[in-house]
Amino acid sequence: MAASMASQAAARGLRTATSKHILLDKLKCTWLSPRRWLNLQEYQSKKLMQESGVAVQRFYVADTASEALEAAKRLDAKEIVLKAQILAGGRGKGVFDSGLKGGVHLTKDPAVVGELANKMLGFNLTTKQTPKDGVKVKTVMVAEALDITRETYFAILMDRSCNGPVMVGSPQGGMDIEEVAASTPELIFKEVIDIFEGVRDDQALRMAANLGFKGPLQRQAADQIKRLYDLFLKVDATQVEVNPLGETPEGQVVCFDAKINFDDNAEFRQKAVFAMDDMTESDPTEMEAAKWDLKYIGLDGNIACFVNGAGLAMATCDIIDLHGGKPANFLDLGGGVKERQVYEAFKLLTADPKVEAILVNIFGGIVNCAIIANGITKACRELELKVPLVVRLEGTNVHEAKRILTESGLPITAAENLDDAAKKAVAAIKK
């Protein structure tokens, strides 16, 4: 069955939260989605790269217009680029509520930097990837503008099929790499990295040549590739994507823009990196859910979904949609569940004014259904649940769980399977 619009929205939400990862091999794409939540601003990624010896543009960060002006003067560059720092793409074509058009501006006059920053800082920037009201800009990056004679694409990412990291590159950079793979798959090059050897000189030089670097630039590009792999290891990255990895008229190889994704499981040894996490742009409900290790994505329907496992959650969204309902959210409880998590999940769901019914769909493998049942009854009593609740439980300790729900005396509608649960949830909001 083709994915419904609901599950597609959930999938897009997951990819936004966890970031999109691809390994392009001719016409095949493998999507990797481990648990990834850390978001860094552009200047923060550039700082990490700079610390690992990767060539980036000279830059400063400013929180006020006067700081931006002073930074522009200190750069003493022929041309300066001013970039609004928000966690969204399409900044160059965005619009500020101050009236300024574009979150990225080029100028040769430092005085103009101060004027532009004054119309950026403290104002909302709206792009194709922001909420309709935009995101408030609190920081700008003032950088040296460099000419680019040629753009290439380069990334290092984890690939399950290779049991480790892989380099992916293309001489066609500065554009959507998926489009390159679809139209000219022969321009996608891949090198599997041995985790014990690291990136060998011959691999780095071969990738540099495949990217189109010639003469002294080939060696320079190979050096940058090896430094990027050092960074990949150093920060426990799951992906380091540079687009473009560019060549300047002066014969420099520079990483002009980069996206770094991190493995949250390594947070315990990457304290400094995770301390950089900018949570100000995150959805408040998603932030609250994350405190309890819940994965929450808001949708625009009226049936709340409380499920364990991303795949099951998407299937639940699909079947609700199939029966004429609309999911209000995508909430994944995960595996090592506690009663308190169930309670906090219900608090999040009932706080949404759009929710007119709640569907709990649990398939207990490592999850003890009795823990879920105890959490449900506690939440229903303490939160004085006012909307219909449909519960489908299956798996570990399910008979005890059903006994707990039955003896609670609460108005809980039991369902035998997922299809039955979806039908009853949709029927509940139509009464």
Instruction: Please report the pLDDT score of residue 5 as a whole number.
Output: 38
What are the respective helix, strand and coil percentages of the chain, to the nearest 5? Answer: 40, 25, 35
Nearest CA among 331, 338, 344 for reference residue 370: 338
Q: Which residue among 151, 241, 286, 356 is the active-site one?
A: 241
Angle at 264 between CA 258 and CA 269, to 5 degrees: 95
Asked whether the beta carbons of 216 and 252 are under 8 A apart, the reply is no
Instruction: Please report the pLDDT score of residue 403 as a whole number.
Output: 95
- Pairing label, strands 59-62, 140-144: antiparallel
Instruction: Please report the pLDDT score of residue 29 as a whole number.
Output: 34
Can you tell me the distance from the alpha carbon of 415 to that of 417, in angstroms, rounded to the nearest whole number? 6
Instruction: Please report the pLDDT score of residue 257 as a whole number.
Output: 86
H or E segment at 228? helix 216-234
Instruction: Please report the pLDDT score of residue 144 as a whole number.
Output: 96
Instruction: Please report the pLDDT score of residue 17 as a whole number.
Output: 37
91 annotated as belonging to a binding site for a ligand:
yes
Clarify whether 153 is annotated catalytic: yes
Conformational region of residue 154, where left means phi above 0, alpha means psi within -120 to 50, and beta covers everything else: beta
Instruction: Please report the pLDDT score of residue 286 as a whole number.
Output: 75
Clarify whether 241 is annotated catalytic: yes
Phi, psi of 82 (to 5 degrees): -110, 125
392 annotated as belonging to a binding site for a ligand:
no
Instruction: Please report the pLDDT score of residue 175 as a whole number.
Output: 74
243 annotated as belonging to a binding site for a ligand:
yes
Q: What is the dihedral of CA 263, 269, 275, 278, to 10 degrees?
A: 0
**Tens-binned pLDDT, residue by residue, of the chain (431 aa):** 333 434 344 443 433 333 333 333 333 333 333 334 577 899 999 999 999 999 999 999 999 999 999 999 999 999 999 999 998 878 999 999 999 999 999 999 999 999 999 999 999 999 988 888 899 999 999 999 999 999 999 999 999 888 899 999 999 987 778 888 889 999 999 999 999 999 999 999 999 999 999 999 999 999 999 999 999 999 999 999 999 999 999 999 999 988 898 998 898 999 999 888 766 666 677 777 777 788 888 888 999 999 988 888 889 999 999 999 999 998 888 766 788 999 999 999 999 999 999 999 998 777 889 999 999 999 999 999 999 999 999 988 999 999 999 999 999 999 999 999 999 999 998 76
Angle at 264 between CA 259 and CA 269, to 5 degrees: 105
Q: Which residue among 42, 43, 67, 153 is the active-site one?
A: 153
H or E segment at 70? helix 65-75
Number of residues that this document lists for the chain: 431
308 annotated as belonging to a binding site for a ligand:
yes
367 annotated as belonging to a binding site for a ligand:
yes
92 annotated as belonging to a binding site for a ligand:
yes
H or E segment at 292? none
Nearest CA among 386, 325, 324, 403 for reference residue 351: 386
Based on its alpha-carbon atoms, the radius of gyration of the chain, rounded to whole angstroms, reads 25
Can you tell me the distance from the alpha carbon of 287 to that of 305, in angstroms, rounded to the nearest whole number? 18
Structural domains of the chain in order of their starting residue, each with its CATH number: 57-142 (3.30.1490.20), 148-273 (3.30.470.20), 282-426 (3.40.50.261)
List beta partners, residue 107.
80
372 annotated as belonging to a binding site for a ligand:
no
Instruction: Please report the pLDDT score of residue 278 as a whole number.
Output: 67
